Structure 1
Amino acid sequence: MRINLDLDTLRTLCVAHDLGSLAQAAERLGRTPSAISLQMKRLQEELGAPLFRKRGRGLALTEAGEVALSYARRILSLNDELMDTMQGAKMAGHIRIGCPQDFAAILPPVLSHFSSLYPLMQIELRIEGNAALADAIEKTEIDLAVVIGHEDRAAASVVGKLDVVWIASSTFVRPRDQPLPLAVLGPQCVFRKCAIQHLEATDIPYRIAANSPSLDGLWAALLGGLGITARTGLNLPDGLVSAGSLYGLPLLEGMPVTLHRNVRSDGVAVDRMRTLLVDALGLALASRAKASRVTDISTRRRKSINSAQQ
């Protein structure tokens, strides 16, 4: 005879692990510590293995506990997705989201997944610069926004960090005895400000050689050899190269990737969209970090080979 595990008990296991103790889980869930302890005791009996071991004043999971936790999260995720789907099928309204051009590539699967959960919800999408999106959140014009930088804003929560690199055509040659030609977006662009700040800090003269309102225009200027820019290495067109210290330029600092939420925006649909965006950003940032490590290794190998040949 199969035992049917209680979803409420599995959720308690996840909360207890995340908070580090049964007592804190009891407080979070609004139950008595004895009730939480009884739940965990029954779960261990049903699974036939100890799930916890003592670690100082708190609790840690045993190997069996780690396995149970992994399955618990998957079971609860499916349960929550089913409930969202059934409830979302009847939920009408609209949700407004914003995203910079750099992360536009993460949107198709996010929007498709959200639409499958909430088919009656209308999505309004705004692709703009980071400062404009952060301002739009504060003016309650949109509900959620992916933003690079602006972590000091009240509505911001940091999702991860993104490396900023120098980018140019593979055939670009840095001019000697002349100001460095820059290709940039508008004056409010955080990457433009970052590039100029680092160049001025190291006394490198520069000039604005190309000014574009869009990424397509920026890429065209770079591919045409008009100059160099500072930006994330996400989704670079063929023919462009990037590195943290390209052509001997100063190493650029990374920037936080933030998610901004309108203080007046609540509800399960907004919660679900936020989760989908955070998950998609996590995958994109992890993929970019891996690509950066590979690029750095290749660059070091080339330098080593060139030094050996000289």
Structure 2
Amino acid sequence: MLVLGIESSCDDTAAAVWEDGTVRANVVSSQADLHEEYGGVVPELASRNHQRLIVPVVQRALTKAEVDAEGLDAVAVTYGPGLPGSLLVGLSFAKAFARGLDVPLIGVNHLEGHVCSVDLEGPRPGRPFLCLVVSGGHTELVRVDENAQHEVLGRTRDDAAGEAFDKVAQLFGLGYPGGPDIDRHAETGDPAFHDFPRSRLDGFDFSFSGLKTSVLYYLRDRSAAERKRLLADHLDDLCAAVQAAVVDVLVDAMRRAVEETGGEHVAVVGGVAANSSLRRRMGALGREAGVDVSVPALTYCMDNAAMIAQAGARRLAAGHTSPAALDVHPNLQL
């Protein structure tokens, strides 16, 4: 089964080819440099650049995979959640491409794609498994069963972990996206430099807006000269302290979920799963709790079309296709 996947939910234009358990090609064109000067994604700029990039990106994926478009069995595409204009570019192209080839169109939930990303390389985690989905705009803890059905155990009530990193990075004068910058600075910092708050809610829900506000007040309560000196002398320490606050909450939620459900297999997916501290701490949790931990390769933590193609292939194998009237769903949930 040869499936073309298309992903354009935010600021990355991506296309991939999946064939019977193998990623034949995975091409991603990032717009990070374009949006960096604004400190975040500008939706209008993102959608315009998707329009410019979608055709060459798909062409590169097909060329890299060494397949002709006529050989495709289906076209899978992200239809939500994400930025409406960005989603619309990918979905419109996928509809036209599938119609022209007379092959099925398969709409894929972006978050479902992330959950499936643990199966792209290496051994698949056993089923059922607990999955922490931590991307730029989403933080959720879900239980995935044998039939790939998802039970949401908890989700963020405000900011996601990735959003917290990006907003704090702005306060620190770092670039966009903020998560990788914070991770790099935290490598040589002291996480005990300052005790930022850890929000622990009932059940498995998350909240990270209080962390952002705490950092804001921590800096605001100092004079301009003090802030400048603090950020010059202790930027690494501050990044390490913020990172520790986020990772502590995520790992604690997974630990409690393992204890309460008796789960033996866990996974962490999404952009924040690339964070080095989170990967180390989840590995340590696995050893302590005696559970198997799966984390995708760094390439597949970020938004990519391989995960969409794979999820689409699974849907097609199960007999599911999408109508030509499929529309974007910016607020789609698992």
Q: Fold conserved (TM > 0.5)?
A: no
Structure with larger RCO (C-alpha < 8 A, sep 6+)? 2
With the length of structure 1 as denominator, give the TM-score of the two structures: 0.26
With the length of structure 2 as denominator, give the TM-score of the two structures: 0.24
Mark the structure with the bigger radius of gyration. Answer: 1
